Chain A
Amino acid sequence: DGGITQSPKYLFRKEGQNVTLSCEQNLNHDAMYWYRQDPGQGLRLIYYSQIVNDFQKGDIAEGYSVSREKKESFPLTVTSAQKNPTAFYLCASSIQVGSYTFGSGTRLTVV
């Protein structure tokens, strides 16, 4: 079955560490997105990519980095520069306007 796989489901990070969240899709979608979800704030766009080897900053890109070397993969790195990284992270992909397919999310906690 086609879909988006995010891993790991839960991730714990120590202060000052970089961590990478994985997002893989087998839907043949061109566009991929990373959102951060905090209680009461909805989803905020971190980065998005509309084609391989190209990506753009979203609304809250500071402290994050991405790569898009393959169509299927769009990993997100949370760097030590991100001051408040504890959140639920969602990856999505789309082939047409608005019809996003979401992964099941990664919950990142700083310990």
Chain B
Amino acid sequence: AQSVTQLDSQVPVFEEAPVELRCNYSSSVSVYLFWYVQYPNQGLQLLLKYLSGSTLVESINGFEAEFNKSQTSFHLRKPSVHISDTAEYFCAVSVPDYKLSFGAGTTVTVRA
């Protein structure tokens, strides 16, 4: 079975500063990796995903994540955050044709 560990439960950051959210996974087979974002009292939205190909994946709102097979990591980064990036972020892993396993989540709070 696969599992996901998000290393930081809370990440406070100032507006326009960079942020990195750490995610490590464990699996005995090849995996697919995802980041989802959840705004207060809402469902989750897919932010970006790695299925195959380039190990660096980007979202439309400036986030990027890099798949590192040797370190079994899929860290999420943004070079300059906005107040609107305040949310909870979930890393998730799936083996092909199987259900997602989610990490415990990282709450990002952006301050002016």
Contact = CB atoms under 8 A, between A and B. Distances in A.
Interface of A: 4, 6, 33, 35, 40-43, 45, 48, 58, 90, 92, 97-100, 102-105, 107
B98 to A, nearest CB: 8
Given A40-B104, A43-B90, A99 B44 contact: no
B20 to A, nearest CB: 19
B44 A100 contact: yes
Q: What's the interface size class on B, roughly? A: 20 to 34
A45 B99 contact: yes
Given A42-B105, A104-B42, A105-B41, A98 B32 contact: yes
Given A35-B102, A92-B43, A104-B43, 20 more contacts: A40-B9, A41-B104, A42-B6, A42-B90, A42-B104, A45-B99, A90-B43, A90-B44, A92-B44, A97-B96, A97-B97, A98-B51, A98-B92, A98-B94, A99-B46, A100-B44, A100-B100, A103-B43, A104-B42, A105-B43
A98 B43 contact: no
Contacts of A45: 99
B41 A48 contact: no
17 contacts: A4-B43, A6-B43, A35-B102, A40-B9, A42-B102, A42-B104, A48-B99, A90-B43, A92-B43, A97-B97, A98-B32, A98-B51, A98-B100, A100-B44, A100-B100, A104-B41, A107-B41
A40 B90 CA distance: 11
A72 B86 CA distance: 33
Contacts of A107: 41
Contacts of A97: 32, 51, 94, 96-98
Interface of B: 6, 9, 32, 34, 36, 41-46, 49, 51, 90, 92, 94, 96-100, 102-105
Nearest to B103: A42
B49 A99 contact: yes
Contacts of B92: 98
